Amino acid sequence: MQVRIICFGPLPERLGWRQKTLEITSPSTPRDVALLLDLQMWVQHGLTYHVDGKMVTPDTPLADGCELALLPPVSGG
């Protein structure tokens, strides 16, 4: 199945792209995609996921053609 990935914060620099359509296996979850992209550190430190504009859990099943946004935790002061 195909999923459009959009990355925010420092993730585009880490991955070398901001948006990409990936072919992934079905069934897959946002966590599966993050781990496929080698983002284990971000998964462990609070990466959040939005599917088609709605915040979801890491284990939400993805549907073919959906848009998955990956948002790292924000820090500031």
Residue-wise pLDDT tens digits, 45-60: 999 999 999 999 999 9
State which H helix or E strand residue 41 sits in.
helix 40-44
Tell me: the pLDDT tens digits for 30-44?
999 999 999 999 999
Tokens at residue 52, please?
A: 């088609």
CATH T-level fold of 2-71? Ubiquitin-like (UB roll) (3.10.20)
pTM of the complete model: 0.93
The backbone torsions φ and ψ at residue 46, rounded to the nearest 5 degrees and listed phi first, read 100, 25
